Structure 1
Amino acid sequence: MSNSLYNDFEPVSAKQWKQKIQVDLKGADYNDTLVWQSLEGIHVRPTYHADDSDTNALTIPGHPLHWDITQHVFIDDASIANHLAIDALEKGAEAIFFTAETSFDKETVFANFPFEKATIYFDLKFLDQDFLKQLMAFLKTKKASVYYNIDILGNLIETGNWFQNLSKDHEILDALYQKHSTEHLLSVNTAVYQNAGATMVQQLAYGLAHANEYLNHFKTSANKTGLQITFTIATGSNYFFEISKIRALRILYAALAKEYDVEQTCHVIASPSKRNKTLYDYNVNMLRTTTETMSAVLGGANAVSNLPYDALYHKSNEFGERISRNQLLVLKKESYFDVVSNPADGSYYIESLTQQLAAKALELFKSIEKGGGLLAQLKEGTIQKKIKESAYKEQQWFNEGKLVLLGTNKYPNTADQMKHDLELYPFVKTNIRKTEIAPLISKRLSEKVEQERLDNEKE
């Protein structure tokens, strides 16, 4: 056919669509019946149309052409970590995200590692200048692609304390950046905001303010031009909103980076949130993580790691890790999520959400900067207070059934028993200690319900 099939149909305007919907509603109120409001304060309509937008399709800076299946590996025993990493790569992983709480034997961890094929990410829960210099020198000789993800401010937010102290942490960061400015050193962890209950607008605004602290710190550096920040994000179950969140992040960061005359694209690592994961009916977690990793891919994450369905109550195990990795393999190899790099482009709904999230986040970001910046507001407790308010509202929605977690607050299997399967403590742990600021506490929505069910389980 030489002529498009669409030429045989008259175009339908947005006004005509709404009129037809109102006729079909038979007197019911359009707004009350079909328009719903998200936690971010965004009103979602049943239809979106080209007439609704007065701008061209969005250009997303740095949207990747491909994404990497990423496997998390915790370094405790160096030889075991090496085995897990090599095994994961042989079974489909394309990148490894190493987490470590103390320094480790780098030669053992990276024995026979295929540096030419796999990207390396780090989440180091310590800041040791000598160790990091040795690690960087070692991996440079291997010509490895590495993201070190140093986030001293993120550690303060999560733990309430600097690694050592404000002055020493910045001194180490400056020394590393001076000698390794071409490396991917800096990271902003927005997952800590999400898992504590922040809305998407807050996640974007706080993440942008977080990045601004680093950009402002290095603005006079002679080597600032190539500076690039890696964002670690958590995706929740609000599918289209999460796609739009990542797109909005890239737009916002590009605008901020332009002001500092640095690289306007950022690198994004995404993984599913823990906030909506459940202890009971845990297999539903696989459905949640599938849609959440889909959002990450479609939104434009560079690397996507998954959360095992049993991560709340089981120690890391081969079966759970394999299933989580296979979910990503199915998306990439069988569902062809690697064929098109930007499938969300042109969707009126996603474009509208992206614009609204970006606009609201930018407004909040500006108010944070007027208030002295992120660090100042963290010290005042303003950020913590705002996130607590958002988390409380979300918790209320869950308690009232407006926010549904299947198998937990809707259609629970009352015969489900979990008391004797707990290898890990799945609830918030209280660790009383002196801190410089009040840390952000990650908490799942279903914790109270689950604790009550555990208490009522029969022996």
Structure 2
Amino acid sequence: MSENLFEEFGPVSSKLWKQQIQFELKGADYNEALVWESPEGIKVKPFYHIDDAKDAATPNTKASQFAICQDIFVQDVEKSNARALSTLKRGAEAIRFTLTNPDVDVNKLLSGIDKEVSVYFHLEFISIDFVKQLDAIAKQNESQFYVQLDPIGHLAKDGNWYEGCDNFEALNTIAIACTNLSFLSVDASLYQNAGANIVQQIAYALAHANEYFNRIPTLYRPLTIQVAVGTNYFFEIAKLRALKLLFGLIAKEYGHEHDCHIIALPTKRNKTLYDYNVNMLRTTTECMSAILGGADAVINLPYDALYHKSNEFGDRIARNQLLVLKHESYFDKVNNPADGSYYIEELTQQLADKALALFKDIEANGGFLAQLKETTIQRKIHESAIKEQELFDSGKEILLGTNKYPNKADRMSHDLELFPFVKANPRRTFISPIIPKRLAEKMEQERLSTEEKP
């Protein structure tokens, strides 16, 4: 016979909790002492109550379905295929190939990969024939392919459209001809890595996607959104939830019946060259946020990705972080794991409300492409990035090992296989590009210059 062990306790309203807290503060101002404001303008309270979550936003975040994805840059087809097969044996569940040109033997690249494995193709070019080839293979082998083709994202990052064709005409041709794969992607990671705040990231991703909905009437396949996840743990969970929620609202207006397919990876913005092992702690919490927020696939960033070329050890550690989260921390056992967390549900609603308002403002002023051409988007991201940079430079935003408790004995100049800073590349562009930049770059350059002195 069951009994209610707590029936003698009456419900306590949020008002009563606040009164008790105010009493404990002994005259200190509640708002000044305990409420802080995020860069998005959200006032974060010291506690959340069911009173705050009566109309909670509850998007579908199936954490049990997230796939551990391995990123592979294709230079040599045989080596890339061998690496894919090896990583699949070692725990990867999906593969993403990054291709720089269409002159690739796709059948050889995919040789031995089971049809149950989801394969992503991140294309740095646009080719109708190449996507048709992938579509034919997907149909023949009943494979699950996601083609990350994003002309608007390329324009935003590079400053120019893909050369050699009318970008939207090519997409419409692909949409009609290719019905066995997802062919379209939105790279929202660019906005996070360049310094946009969370509301901007969501709104720009939606406005970016809306340009495709407006221009491709036959968009019947799932749309992939690539998201970079930052270190603000609960806010990042809420970010993905709000993105799913708002995408569903917008897609419904176009008769698009699919949820967005989210592929998430840790941000580079807070990663550091010095005390690089701390990057593993950062990527662990970021991957956790991605999973709990409902990402369909997660690609972890190796701890040494800033300064080392792709290598077996770094890749293995990054993959093992996800394996621990899935098989030892059981992050794949519960769907919608954030439901019932009043804090996350309230954050989700507030982020969604603010992002929707910004999205509507973008659309009222000509849409995302028009605001890119007017440099409005670039200016807004730059303003947010400057605010965050000032917090880092003043020590209010902390990166351990860099602007807090640095190890003065660290030496990195001898270990650089890659250039870890923004590269200057003066050239003519159609629009001003959005440029990703890490917070620690200036400080790291100063330390490296000191190392080089005798």
Question: Normalised by the shorter chain, which TM-score bucket?
Answer: over 0.9
Could you tell me how far apart the structure 1 residues matched to 2:436 and 2:232 are? 19
Q: How does 1:87-106 map to 2 (within 5 A)?
A: 87-103=86-102, 104-106=104-106
Residue by residue, what CA displacement relative to the aligned partner does 1:16-75 show, whole Å, maximum 9, x if unpaired?
2112212222222211111111111111001000122441x4331464641101110110
Once the two structures are overlaid, the 10-residue window that deviates more, 101-110 or 442-451, is 101-110
Within the alignment, does 1:344 sit opposite 2:343 as a pair?
no
Q: How does 1:355-370 map to 2 (within 5 A)?
A: 355-370=349-364
Match in the other structure for 1:45 = 45
TM-score by length of 2: 0.97
Within the alignment, does 1:130 sit opposite 2:133 as a pair?
no
Kindly state the Cα deviation for residue 182 of structure 1 after the two structures are TM-superposed.
Answer: 4.6
Match in the other structure for 2:203 = 205
Once the two structures are overlaid, the 10-residue window that deviates more, 143-152 or 442-451, is 143-152
Match in the other structure for 1:160 = 159
Match in the other structure for 1:185 = 183
Match in the other structure for 2:278 = 284
Secondary structure of 1:120's match? strand
Residue by residue, what CA displacement relative to the aligned partner does 1:246-270 show, whole Å, maximum 9, x if unpaired?
0000110111011111115111100
Specify whether residues 218 and 64 from structure 1 end up closer, same or farther in structure 2 by C-alpha distance, changes over 3 A only.
Answer: farther
Once the two structures are overlaid, the 10-residue window that deviates more, 399-408 or 102-111, is 102-111
Match in the other structure for 2:215 = 217
Could you tell me how far apart the structure 2 residues matched to 1:113 and 1:389 are? 45
- Structure 1 stretches of 4+ with a deviation exceeding 6 A read none
Kindly state the Cα deviation for residue 433 of structure 1 after the two structures are TM-superposed.
Answer: 1.2
- Residue-pair matches, total: 452
Q: How does 1:256-405 map to 2 (within 5 A)?
A: 256-405=250-399
Could you tell me how far apart the structure 1 residues matched to 2:154 and 2:127 are? 14
Match in the other structure for 1:11 = 11
Q: How does 1:54-133 map to 2 (within 5 A)?
A: 54-55=54-55, 57-61=56-60, 63=62, 65-103=64-102, 104-116=104-116, 118-133=117-132
Could you tell me how far apart the structure 1 residues matched to 2:193 and 2:274 are? 19
Does the 8 Å contact 1:239/1:295 carry over to 2?
yes
Kindly state the Cα deviation for residue 434 of structure 1 after the two structures are TM-superposed.
Answer: 1.0
Secondary structure of 2:227's match? strand
Amino acid at match of 1:97: R
Within the alignment, does 1:146 sit opposite 2:140 as a pair?
no
Secondary structure of 2:335's match? coil
Residue from 174, 177, 186 that aligns with 1:176: 174
Does the 8 Å contact 2:139/2:180 carry over to 1?
no
Match in the other structure for 1:230 = 224
Residue by residue, what CA displacement relative to the aligned partner does 1:379-415 show, whole Å, maximum 9, x if unpaired?
0111000000000001011111121111111111111
Amino acid at match of 1:78: V
Does the 8 Å contact 1:271/1:306 carry over to 2?
yes
Amino acid at match of 2:118: T
Kindly state the Cα deviation for residue 15 of structure 1 after the two structures are TM-superposed.
Answer: 1.3
Residue by residue, what CA displacement relative to the aligned partner does 1:134-182 show, whole Å, maximum 9, x if unpaired?
23223332221010021111111111111116x6212221111111145
Q: How does 1:368-447 map to 2 (within 5 A)?
A: 368-447=362-441
Does the 8 Å contact 2:199/2:354 carry over to 1?
yes
TM-score by length of 1: 0.96
Match in the other structure for 1:245 = 239
Could you tell me how far apart the structure 1 residues matched to 2:221 and 2:316 are? 35
Quote the RMSD (CA, aligned, Å): 1.4
Secondary structure of 1:436's match? coil
Could you tell me how far apart the structure 2 residues matched to 1:62 and 1:287 are? 24
Does the 8 Å contact 1:62/1:265 carry over to 2?
no
Kindly state the Cα deviation for residue 314 of structure 1 after the two structures are TM-superposed.
Answer: 0.4
Could you tell me how far apart the structure 1 residues matched to 2:377 and 2:180 are? 32
Amino acid at match of 1:439: P
Kindly state the Cα deviation for residue 278 of structure 1 after the two structures are TM-superposed.
Answer: 0.4
Amino acid at match of 1:383: I
Structure 1: segments with no counterpart, 5+ residues: none
Kindly state the Cα deviation for residue 429 of structure 1 after the two structures are TM-superposed.
Answer: 0.5
Secondary structure of 2:146's match? strand
Once the two structures are overlaid, the 10-residue window that deviates more, 126-135 or 286-295, is 126-135
Once the two structures are overlaid, the 10-residue window that deviates more, 395-404 or 243-252, is 395-404
Kindly state the Cα deviation for residue 443 of structure 1 after the two structures are TM-superposed.
Answer: 0.2
Could you tell me how far apart the structure 2 residues matched to 1:270 and 1:122 are? 15
Structure 2: segments with no counterpart, 5+ residues: none
